[in-house]
Chains A and B, each alone.
Chain A
């Protein structure tokens, strides 16, 4: 079974629109971390954020914000006032204390921001 599900395969928005990327995870571990990565056309995955299972406080960083809800096992990522430079593939990932170094990645959401 897929531990991390990113149901949105591709999204297109017009510049300055807001967009939310969904991430749903599955785990039985009580201690785990969730991550978001950005993969621009250059190919390198860039770490964006890490959130642990005990911290449900939402986080905002500039135009980026993350909504972590354990009740729905979701860790959604919102980009406000999107820009062309936001065009990339975004991956959500899960790591669990009981499985150590194993990271589980979603299949990614390809975001295209149209100027």
Chain B
């Protein structure tokens, strides 16, 4: 089974801090994604990557950046955390080829609180 591991289950950070959320997958998947989940809004795509060092903006990239130096690791960076970034963050991966037909495999999520 695909395993997507997010480094932290819960995080509490202060406004203005730089925050790193780490995600690692063990199935050699080319595609990796960062979503944000908020009540009533479902899942919204922040960034995705289809290859090492490649990244694409999703629907809500403002205030975030990403890094993919190795195939198995995809990091989400909050350059200067703000309270409106308090949310559940979900990492996902999928296999290569026609990404649209490959199901996403999710990690357990990181619940970030910015105070």
B103 contacts A35, C-beta separation under 8 Å: yes
SS class of chain B's interface: helix, strand, loop or mixed? strand
Contact with A along B99-113 (1 / 0, CB 8 A): 111011111110100
Query: Which of B44, B56, B90, B106 makes the CB contact (< 8 A) with A101?
Result: B56
Q: Give every chain B residue within 8 A of A105 (Cβ-Cβ).
A: 35, 42-44
Total chain A interface residues with beta-carbon distance under 8 A: 27
Number of CB contacts from chain A to chain B under 8 A: 67
A101 contacts B31, C-beta separation under 8 Å: yes
B90 contacts A45, C-beta separation under 8 Å: yes
- Name A's B-contacting residues (CB within 8 A): 9, 32-33, 35, 37, 42-47, 50, 52, 91, 93, 95-97, 99-103, 105-108
Q: Could you write out 24 A-B pairs with CB less than 8 Å apart?
A: A32-B100, A35-B104, A37-B106, A42-B108, A43-B108, A44-B106, A44-B107, A45-B90, A45-B92, A45-B106, A47-B105, A97-B100, A99-B100, A100-B98, A101-B31, A101-B56, A101-B94, A101-B100, A102-B58, A103-B104, A105-B42, A107-B40, A107-B41, A108-B42
